[in-house]
């Protein structure tokens, strides 16, 4: 069974630039999550989708971050404009439903210079 796919794996940009990350969840998983993990900390939930609807985006900095899951399958997360403090690993995860085991992708490591 294919796991959660993410791209790119690494991205280096300068502050004030824009960047987008892509995630393809495990087939059949209705719930998709985006997390931000800063070095030395646990993952912080940015947004949770149930199919193509947003369940929780309370910790998403909406002035610069946006995410969509238009067809209820793959998803994109965008940062515009990026700040130095956005340097982190962005993890995508999926689960059958909101209370089930989450399966994580390999993450995208973002460095903002």
Partner 1 sequence: RKEVEQDPGPFNVPEGATVAFNCTYSNSASQSFFWYRQDCRKEPKLLMSVYSSGNEDGRFTAQLNRASQYISLLIRDSKLSDSATYLCVVNMGSKIIFGKGTRLHILP
In the chain, what are the helix, strand and coil shares in percent, each to the nearest 5?
Answer: 5, 50, 50
Peptide bond into 109 cis (omega under 30): no
Report the residue from 23, 43, 46, 77 that binds partner 1 according to the rule CB under 8 A. Answer: 43
Q: Which stretch binds partner 1 (CB under 8 A): 15-23, 43-51, 62-70, 77-85?
A: 43-51
Report the residue from 21, 34, 35, 90 that binds partner 1 according to the rule CB under 8 A. Answer: 35
Q: Does 8 bind partner 1 (CB under 8 A)?
A: no
Q: Name beta bridge partners: 109.
A: 10, 89
Strands (E), 1-113: 5-7, 10-13, 19-24, 31-37, 44-50, 53-56, 65-68, 75-79, 88-95, 103-104, 108-112
Nearer to partner 1, 56 or 68 (CB): 56
Report the residue from 1, 2, 28, 40 that binds partner 1 according to the rule CB under 8 A. Answer: 40
Cβ-proximal residues to 73 (8 Å cutoff; 6+ apart), any chain: 24, 25
Nearer to partner 1, 15 or 44 (CB): 44
Report the residue from 27, 28, 53, 58 that binds partner 1 according to the rule CB under 8 A. Answer: 58
Interacting residues toward partner 1 by CB under 8 A = 33, 35, 40-45, 48, 56, 58-59, 91, 98-99, 101-107
């Amino acid at each position: 069974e294919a796991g959660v796919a993410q791209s790119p794996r690494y991205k280096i940009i300068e502050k004030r630039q824009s960047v987008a990350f892509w995630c393809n969840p495990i087939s059949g998983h209705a719930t998709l999550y985006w997390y931000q993990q800063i070095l030395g900390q646990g993952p912080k939930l940015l947004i949770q989708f149930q199919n193509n609807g947003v369940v929780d985006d309370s910790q998403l900095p909406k002035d610069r971050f946006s995410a969509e899951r238009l067809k209820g399958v793959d998803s994109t997360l965008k940062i515009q404009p990026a700040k130095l403090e956005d340097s982190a690993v962005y993890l995508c995860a999926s689960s059958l439903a909101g209370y089930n085991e989450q399966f994580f992708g390999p993450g995208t490591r973002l460095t903002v210079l």
